[in-house]
Chains A and B, each alone.
Chain A
Amino acid sequence: MSGVRVLVGTRKGAFVLTSDGKRERWDVSGPYFAGWEVYHVKGSPADPGRLFASQSNGWFGQLIQRSDDGGKTWEPVGNKFSYEGEPGTHQWYDGTPHPWEFARVWHLEPSLEDPDTVYAGVEDAGLFRSADGGQSWQELPGLRTDGSGPSWQPGAGGMCLHTIILDPARPGRMFAAISAAGAFRSDDAGQTWRPVNRGLHSEGIPDEDAEVGHCVHRIALHPARPEVLYMQKHWDVMRSDDAGESWHEVSGNLPTDFGFPIEVHAHEPDTVYVVPITSDSEHFPPDGRLRVYRSRTGGDDWQALTRGLPQEHCYVNVLRDAMAVDSLEDCGVYFGTTGGQVYVSADAGDNWAPIVRDLPAVLSVEAQTLP
């Protein structure tokens, strides 16, 4: 019987949650890298036993760990992230130029075909690639140096490249998103990039329709329809039907359109999930009720999913990388909270149950569907 493996990164280590296809009983292992922040753990689509983890802390910096047995054992691989050439400057919070400085890896995106190739999105915003299983890393500097980079400015969480999407239908096309610069697209495997933010509207920047400067929180697509993108922005849930060339708002009847993660159902390209959060300063669900919202119409028309989720006194957040879906026949949906809960729905969001309740604050959740 097929099963799932859920990879959870937290403020104090990583955890691996496994279950069979019913997703009722769970085996919990970890913490791996106890005491370290694990921003992201993700498996290779080409070899599900191969996992990559970003491990860091304020004392000892960044490490990358790799597992070749589905998370049972780990080996540190390369941790040297050097920007190409003279790093140059971006804008600091006070508007002055600030040198590009590597802080940490936020997101790891393994290649769809090659288990040895993996991309890393880092703070200060940059994109790196390894073609040797993480042993060595080379920057793809075109994103940072081709145009608008010197004008980018960090968001409150730092100037991070947090989203990397590889287009499964069009080799060489990839998307990246940076806080607070916006969304970018490459059609030549990351060599050159251009901003794709037309239609975004952000009240927090001087030119509300600027080409860059938008605080994009997360982008998602369905692999069967990769020209359609969904975006959770700082405020506003957005949709593009032309691979980012233009965007329109699909917040519709959401109680608030602020939030962090956004995900798409594994089998229904028009079914989208978000977790509305009260505001940019009140990072908790409206009214203390934890509700996932699902649209079955590609946005605009949203339905609250509450069964099994706390509906009073709940003041957790759900971070941008902390939601995932599996691809079992009944699509499973997962998310983790800053309160340390990881929830699962084995029926596309209708019913929820906690897998674990008391982990450290959850930074990321990924789901692997196992044969």
Chain B
Amino acid sequence: MIRVVLPAHLRNLARVDGEVELAVAGQVTQRSVLDALEASYPVLRGTIRDYGSGRRRAFVRFFACEQDLSHDQPDAPLPEAVATGAEPYLIVGAMAGG
């Protein structure tokens, strides 16, 4: 299972506490993880990726294994530790005021 950590606002929207666990078929990429997340929690559609372009929203970041994956290709394989569930995939609200 893939472990996903959501920021507090999105946990509230999805009505979950703590990490989310997802089964991802095929290669584990950012796109396949986010597709699986949105399929399980439709309320998150449009909050992480822009509806029109499908691109990451500007103030959302993706981290794993102490790396910033935000600028990686969406179909690039995620680190093995994420694919095996040893490490979580973090969806983070960027540090920004407001």
From residue 16 to 75 of chain A, which have CB atoms closer than 8 A to chain B?
A: 35-36, 57-63
A79–B52 alpha-carbon span in the complex (Å): 12
Residue of A nearest to B58 (CB): A58
A288 interfacial contact with B, CB 8 Å = no
Question: Among A57, A58, A79, which residue has the most Cβ atoms of chain B within 10 A?
Answer: A58
B57 interfacial contact with A, CB 8 Å = yes
Tell me which of A35, A36, A60, A82 contacts B51 (CB under 8 A).
Answer: A82
Instruction: Flag A87-125 by CB within 8 Å of B: 1 or 0 each.
Output: 000000000000000100000000000000000000000
A82–B45 alpha-carbon span in the complex (Å): 14
Q: Is the CB of B46 within 8 A of A61?
A: yes
CB of A338 to closest CB in B, whole Å: 15
CB of A108 to closest CB in B, whole Å: 17
* Chain B residues, Cβ within 8 Å of A76: 13, 43
B48 interfacial contact with A, CB 8 Å = yes
Q: Is the CB of B45 within 8 A of A80?
A: yes
A318–B38 alpha-carbon span in the complex (Å): 39
From residue 143 to 158 of chain A, which have CB atoms closer than 8 A to chain B?
A: none
Known: A36-B9, A76-B13. A60 touches B48 (CB 8 A): yes
From residue 8 to 61 of chain B, which have CB atoms closer than 8 A to chain A?
A: 9-10, 13, 43, 45-48, 50-52, 57, 59-60
* Chain B residues, Cβ within 8 Å of A81: 51
A36–B96 alpha-carbon span in the complex (Å): 14
* Chain A residues, Cβ within 8 Å of B43: 63, 76
Q: Is the CB of A59 within 8 A of B13?
A: no
B76 interfacial contact with A, CB 8 Å = no
Q: Is the CB of B93 within 8 A of A59?
A: yes
Q: Is the CB of A59 within 8 A of B57?
A: yes
Q: Is the CB of B47 within 8 A of A60?
A: yes
Tell me which of A57, A63, A102 contacts B98 (CB under 8 A).
Answer: A57
Q: Is the CB of A60 within 8 A of B52?
A: no
B1 interfacial contact with A, CB 8 Å = no
* Chain B residues, Cβ within 8 Å of A58: 59, 96, 98
Known: A35-B9, A57-B9, A76-B13. A62 touches B46 (CB 8 A): yes
B81 interfacial contact with A, CB 8 Å = no
B86 interfacial contact with A, CB 8 Å = no
Q: Is the CB of B9 within 8 A of A59?
A: yes
* Chain A residues, Cβ within 8 Å of B13: 63, 76
* Chain A residues, Cβ within 8 Å of B9: 35-36, 57, 59-60
Residue of B nearest to A101 (CB): B52
Q: Is the CB of A60 within 8 A of B45?
A: no
Q: Is the CB of A82 within 8 A of B60?
A: no
Residue of A nearest to B97 (CB): A58
* Chain B residues, Cβ within 8 Å of A62: 46
A62–B52 alpha-carbon span in the complex (Å): 13
Q: Is the CB of A79 within 8 A of B46?
A: yes
B residues in contact (CB < 8 Å) with A: 7, 9-10, 13, 43, 45-48, 50-52, 57, 59-60, 93-94, 96, 98
Which 5 A-B residue pairings sit nearest by Cβ, starting from the closest? A60-B47, A59-B93, A59-B59, A76-B43, A79-B46
- 25 A-B pairs with CB atoms under 8 Å apart are A35-B9, A36-B9, A57-B9, A58-B96, A58-B98, A59-B9, A59-B59, A59-B60, A59-B93, A60-B9, A60-B47, A60-B48, A60-B93, A61-B46, A61-B47, A61-B50, A61-B57, A63-B13, A63-B46, A63-B47, A76-B43, A79-B46, A79-B47, A80-B46, A82-B51
Given contacts A59-B9, A59-B60, A62-B46, 5 further A-B contacts (CB under 8 A): A60-B9, A60-B57, A61-B47, A76-B43, A102-B52
